[in-house]
Structure 1
Amino acid sequence: MATDLIERHVAAVLARLRSDQELTDSVYEGDVRDNPERYVNVWHDVGVFSQRSLRGEHQDVEITFTVHSVGTEMWQATWVDGRVLSLLNDWKPSVTGRRCWRLEPAGTQPIQKDTDVSPPKLFAVRRWVLRSVPARETP
């Protein structure tokens, strides 16, 4: 198992989001720099590994992504969320050495207000699950 397995999956998702010209400079992974008016913040877990091979190897992975679409008001957060949805919904990432499934929606939350920042922001939350297995060469 490659030590950068999770990083490669995360990089594919971030690259997909940054491919949108409206979001290119406003996609973050955790820490948000400066104080952008609108942005996307991607959080992910460290992967759940499972054993599905006859050899007992734990190489199948499932990664959950939680994406916050943030704006200064509700409709701006909704606009950002719409762009994220159009990019990630039913998209199948390409990760070297892996066979990925399409991202699977895993829930949303109502738009919320973050008063811990100044000025306050509103954010929408969506979750996706990404599953992948090692790419196998066929004889």
Structure 2
Amino acid sequence: MNEAAYRDLIERHVEAVLALIRGDAQIANVVFEGDVTGDPGMYVNVWHDTGFYSAHDASDTPVDVEVTFTVHSVGRDRWQAVWASGRVTARVLGVVPQIEGRRCWRIAPAGSVPVARDDDASPLRFIARDRFTLRSTPKPTT
């Protein structure tokens, strides 16, 4: 698998998770991947790592994928951050996404951090941080 194919594979995982989160109409318009546009009072920012690959085939080609997502749920007060974090968790936790050509596992929790003040932000914001992992392997061909 070449570099472009790996990037595409990871992006398909990212798009699947973003689609799940954006499926919640109450936060759909304030879900970002990386850069936040405008000045939303409350928003969700989804970050992901570059993915972890393991080789489990005879050619020693990396085929198993694990992507870790770090989700920042940001609000003007701690309750907005907690509320947004709860909405995200309800949308993704335990869900098995559908990714073409892949067999996915349930999205699993990978830790969280209690809500904290972001004293560097002006105006003051509160952030809840949650991490989730999504694992997949190639779908068996019949």
Give the TM-score of the pair, scaled to structure 1: 0.95
Identity %: 51
Q: Residues of 2 paired with 1:30 and 1:113: CA distance?
A: 20
2:127 corresponds to 1:118: no
One-letter amino acid of the structure 1 residue matched with residue 28 of structure 2: T
RMSD of equivalent CA atoms = 1.0
In the TM superposition, what is the alpha-carbon distance from 1:49 to its structure 2 partner?
Answer: 0.6
Q: How much does 1:4 deviate? A: 0.6
Please give the residue correspondences for 1:1-139 in structure 2 after superposition, counting only pairs within 5 Å: 1=1, 2=5, 3-138=7-142
Shift of 1:115: 2.1
Q: What is the total number of aligned residue pairs between the two structures?
A: 138
The alpha-carbon deviation at position 92 of structure 1 amounts to 0.8
After TM superposition, which residue ranges in structure 1, 4 or more long, deviate above 2 angstroms? none
1:4 aligned counterpart, secondary structure? helix
Q: Which amino acid aligns with 1:107?
A: G
1:13-40 per-position Cα deviation (integer Å, ceiling 9, x unaligned): 1111111111111000111111101111
Secondary structure of 2:11 counterpart: helix
Question: SS at the partner of 2:81?
Answer: helix
CA displacement, residues 74-125 of structure 1 (integer Å, 9 cap, x when unaligned)? 1111111110110011011111111110011110111111122211110111
Residue 131 of structure 1, CA deviation: 0.5
How far apart, CA to CA, are the structure 1 residues paired with 2:24 and 2:108?
20
* Counterparts of 2:120 and 2:48, CA distance in 1: 22
Displacement of 1:54 after TM fit? 2.8
Q: What stretches of structure 2 of length at least 5 have no aligned partner? A: none
Distance in structure 1 (CA, Å) of the matches to 2:45 and 2:119: 17
For 2:75, give the aligned amino acid: G
State the alpha-carbon separation in 2 of the partners of residues 103 and 30 from structure 1. 20
